[in-house]
């Protein structure tokens, strides 16, 4: 299984709509590890690692987000896989 790590930045109405909590639930269901947090500028950023297919499914979900979100853009930057996370968490 090929492992993958990405940095994701999501723009739009993505704060105050349970984006982080839903992202955590989706990531855990897919077996993806990493973290998610709100940024000061209204965006949500994430770093995640996992099996390539699971990471790709998570990226697909980011384009719609949870109910109430209005995603206007998703940036995905590949990174070197490190295997540093034990689970997927919300950072504050």
Is there a catalytic annotation at residue 38?
yes
The tens digit of pLDDT for each residue in 76-87 reads: 999 999 999 999
- Reduced to 3 states (helix: H, G, I; strand: E, B; else coil), residue 57 is helix
pTM of the model: 0.96
Decide if 24 is catalytic.
Answer: no
**20, 29, 56, 91: the active-site residue:** 20
- N-to-C CA span, the chain: 32
Helix, strand, coil share of the chain (percent; to 5): 25, 40, 35
Count of structural domains within the chain: 1
Domain CATH code at residue 42: 3.30.70.100
* Catalytic residue, candidates 11, 13, 37, 38: 38
Give the domain range for residue 23. 3-9+16-90
**Span 23-69, pLDDT tens digits:** 999 999 999 999 999 999 999 999 999 999 999 999 999 999 999 99
């Amino acid at each position: 299984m090929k492992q993958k790590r990405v940095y994701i930045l999501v723009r739009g109405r993505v704060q105050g709509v349970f984006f982080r909590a839903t992202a955590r639930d989706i990531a855990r269901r897919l077996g993806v590890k990493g973290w998610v947090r709100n940024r000061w500028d209204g965006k949500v950023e994430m770093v995640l690692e996992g099996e390539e297919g699971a990471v790709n499914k998570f990226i697909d979900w980011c384009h719609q987000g949870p109910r109430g979100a209005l995603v206007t853009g998703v940036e995905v930057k590949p990174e070197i896989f490190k295997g540093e996370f034990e689970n997927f968490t919300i950072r504050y």
